[in-house]
């Protein structure tokens, strides 16, 4: 998996400038995690919904993020997620991974696809953003007639592989697009929605071992309170 460094992506995705679209802030747009704080969480269309933080992982449960093509009319839906992350003193970000899940259905002849790109912009050190694209399973587009099933996608950026100072304050942007096409008399649907569990998972990794230290500190604090 190759991580690219882009020169003009910030303006393109709106990291440092407001989006032309009406933005929808999360209801929990600001908060505190186990080793970081987050600020200004939003998406352009609100398709991602509001995340639930479990440990250092943001879990999203979108209900209306889908593309549906009927009788030859193509459909596409794009949304953009953005949030600023600041590591607590003594901590740094080492990796950020986004995983998403969904299902598809093709009745007759058609195709469906999911694509996405993660951008990480350092808010302290002037340098190009780190960029990586989503890799899907099965490989997209899916165009098998009269088929259905589940799919997944994942993108990961290893910040420790990038030369320069540690990443301690960054803006994360994830652009995501679902597309569906069909022939006349056919239909195709793809969406991010599972019966149970999150459909989009954003994992924030700290300095190796630091979460273990945090967990140990919490356990010691619990023991002291019980005495």
Average pLDDT, the chain: 86
What pLDDT score was predicted for residue 2?
54
Handedness of CA 12, 41, 58, 27 (dihedral sign): negative
What pLDDT score was predicted for residue 22?
76
Average pLDDT over residues 133-147: 97
Identify how many contiguous H helices and E strands the chain contains and give both numbers: 2, 16
Write out pLDDT tens, residues 191-213.
Answer: 997 667 789 999 999 987 544 44
What pLDDT score was predicted for residue 19?
44
> Quick one: which of 206, 129, 211, 117 has its CA closest to 170?
129
What pLDDT score was predicted for residue 194?
66
């Amino acid at each position: 998996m190759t991580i690219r460094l882009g020169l003009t992506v910030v303006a393109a995705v709106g990291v440092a400038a407001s989006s032309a679209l009406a933005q929808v802030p999360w209801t929990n747009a600001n908060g505190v995690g186990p080793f970081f704080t987050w600020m200004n969480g939003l998406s352009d269309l609100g398709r991602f919904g509001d995340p639930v933080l479990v440990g250092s992982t943001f879990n999203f449960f979108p209900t209306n993020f889908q593309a549906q093509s009927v009788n030859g009319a193509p459909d596409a839906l794009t949304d953009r997620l953005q949030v600023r992350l600041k590591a607590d003193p003594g901590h740094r970000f080492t990796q950020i991974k986004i995983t998403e899940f969904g299902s598809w259905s093709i009745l007759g002849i058609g195709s469906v696809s999911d694509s996405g790109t993660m951008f990480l912009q350092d808010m302290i050190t002037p340098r190009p953003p780190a960029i990586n694209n989503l890799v899907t399973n099965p490989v997209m587009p899916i165009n098998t007639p009269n088929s259905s099933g589940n799919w997944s996608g994942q993108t990961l950026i290893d910040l420790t592989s990038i030369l320069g100072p540690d990443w301690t304050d960054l803006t994360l942007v994830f652009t995501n697009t679902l597309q569906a096409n069909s022939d006349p008399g056919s239909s195709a649907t793809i969406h991010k929605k599972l019966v149970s569990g999150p459909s989009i998972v954003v994992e924030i990794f700290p300095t190796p071992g630091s979460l273990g230290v945090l967990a140990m500190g919490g356990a010691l604090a619990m023991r002291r309170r019980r005495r």
